Each structure stands twice: as structure tokens, then as C-alpha cells.
Structure 1
């Protein structure tokens, strides 16, 4: 009986701790705008969003430079690591898919350049 009582109190304390932890972490992430990216796709997209974006000459006429379409690629896109060249220097090459469209992006140390749209 003593074990069940201790287990009950442990579970009550654990559940209260989890509730407080999720509440405070959610509030902190909303205030600071921080994200918790652990997967490669999320980490690369976060890195791409943190740099200024430039466009090649053949890409600019297709979309407006401040279009929602660009934001959707860099926020919700899926990187095709099979096609991408992640070992290239100085600029890594990524293919980002968003629905039916794919863009080719060069990730340089100081900027991101959108090279082509497929």
C-alpha cells in the first residue's frame, strides 16, 4: 500500500511539473521568437531564414520579392537532401520543395541566393 501511495504522489507531482514546464516554455518561446529545431530540415530552414535573401536575374520576374510564396518555402518547405549538395564550398546547394514547386537555393556564409524555380 505504501508503494502505491508514493507512486500516486510522484505522478501528481510529475503532472504538475509538466504543466508548468510547458506553460513557461511556450510563453518564453512566444516572447523571444525562439524555435526548438532538432531535425535537419528544420535547422537548415531556420539558418536560411536568418540571412538576407538575394535573387538571381531569372527568378525575380516570376514572384514579387516580398511574396508570401517565398515565406512559405523558407517556413514550411521540405528540403530534398538527396538532390542537395551539402558539402559544397563556399556555398551549399539546397533544393526546397513546397507542394508542386521546387526552388534551388545557395546557402552562402553571409547570404542566401535563390538561383532557380522548377
Structure 2
């Protein structure tokens, strides 16, 4: 069998398998999260966030909203050069860079424990 025929059969099987997987995973809301940034953000989102007094003071000024924090946890970037450092009380400190709804850069400081995540501070950069 010629190479072109073998390649055509391979591509046909690959396309049929791709369409099959597309239909299976379309309704399951699966998320392939293997990169470190994605895994940290997913871990924090899954635990829920407890807001500290310092962060609540920033929210009371109405410069940054809770929706901005949620969007940053969905689409933000973890600064690993300043993150993943142990905290005194346990847990690890993560610095997440994101944007507000007005596209202004913000920075979240989150302490990630095994059972909860605490939003320690929020500030505009």
C-alpha cells in the first residue's frame, strides 16, 4: 500500500475519533487543567474565598468589586516568582495579576490553605 493511502486512512480515523470526542466532551463541561497557572486558579476557585478585613476595606471604597476578583481568578496570571511561598500560619501565598471591568490592572494576594483560600489584599497596580 502506498504511503498516501496509509496516510489517508490514518487521517480518516483521526477525524472520526476527533468528531466522536467532540460530541462526548461537549456537554460534560470538562476542563483540561494541566499547566501550573490553571491548576492554582482552579484550586482557589474550588475552595471558595474568605475575604479578609483589609480586602473588605478596599471593596468598601468601591474602586474594585468582587466581580473583578472573580474575573481575575478565571482569567488572571499567577506570578510564580513572588508566589508559592509558605505562610506563618500554614498555607501558601499566591500573587495573582488580573484586570478590573474597566481594564485596569489589579493584584490579588491570596493565602491558599488545604481547606480554604483567604483573599488577604487587593490593590490596583
Normalised TM-score (structure 1): 0.82
Q: Report the Cα distance in structure 1 between the residues aligned to 2:7 and 2:111, rounded to whole angstroms.
A: 54
- The residue that corresponds to 2:48 in the other structure is 52
SS at match of 1:59: helix
- Cα distance in structure 2, aligned partners of 1:44 and 1:56: 20
- 2:106 matches 1:106: no
> Aligned residue pairs: how many?
111
TM-score (norm 2): 0.78
Q: Which residue of 2 aligns with 1:19?
A: 19
The RMSD of aligned alpha carbons is 1.9
- Distance in 2, Cα, partners of 1:80 & 1:6: 47
List, as ranges, runs of 4+ consecutive aligned residues in structure 1 with deviation greater than 6 Å. none
Could you tell me which residue of structure 2 aligns to residue 78 of structure 1? Answer: 77
Q: Structure 2: how far apart are the matches of 1:52 and 1:21?
A: 31
Deviation at 1:68, TM superposition (A): 1.2
Matched residue, 2:102: none
- 1:87 shift after superposition: 4.6
Structure 1: 5+ residue stretches without partners: none
The farther-off stretch of 18-27 and 41-50 is 18-27
1:51-81 Cα deviation digits (max 9, x unpaired): 13111112113227x8311211211111100
Structure 2, gaps ≥5 residues long: 100-104
Question: Tell me, what secondary structure is at the counterpart of 2:81?
Answer: coil
